[in-house]
Amino acid sequence: MNKQTIIAYVLIGLVIIGFFKYLCLFVLIVLTAIVTLNFLDFFDFITNSVLMPIVAAFTCVFVGWVMKPKAIIDECEAGGHVMKAKGFYSFMVRYLAPALMVALLVSEVCRALNIGGWSI
């Protein structure tokens, strides 16, 4: 490949990336208008009320089912300390915490759409 072909490919790639960037920005602006939040409130809602519970639930699933709670328990007991609530921790990280994070996510989305939800 010569230099002009590479430059052409890079420019085409940048135009495509720029198009999708501005398309996403347009969609976000339209969504903020629909949800009747201003731009910063919309992103605050997305990060705090949607993304944080999703990431927390996926973290619990990862620690509870992929990594296994025994790895965390062994790490806690590495210094000679005894972890007394091993069974409760395993239950909490595998079942309770992900369920509560999903409930929190549903509640926050329902509250933002004015169709219910819990008010804390």
pTM: 0.65
Question: Could you tell me if 73 and 115 lie in one domain?
Answer: yes
CA distance 83 to 43: 40
Task: Categorize the per-residue pLDDT at 31 as very low, low, confident or very high, splitting at 50, 70 and 90.
Answer: low
CA distance 111 to 120: 11
Question: Could you tell me if 31 and 1 lie in one domain?
Answer: yes
**By mean pLDDT, which of 27-36, 41-50, 55-64, 69-78 is the weakest?**
27-36
Question: Could you tell me if 44 and 25 lie in one domain?
Answer: no
Q: How many domains does the chain have?
A: 2
Average pLDDT of span 63-76: 90
- Exposed, middle or buried: residue 119 (CB in 10 Å: 0-12, 13-18, 19+)? exposed
CA distance 18 to 105: 32
Question: Could you tell me if 29 and 64 lie in one domain?
Answer: no
In the three-class reduction of DSSP (H, G, I as helix; E, B as strand; rest coil), residue 79 is classed as coil
Domain of residue 30 covers 1-36
pLDDT greater than 80 at residue 114:
no
Average pLDDT of span 76-104: 92
pLDDT greater than 70 at residue 73:
yes
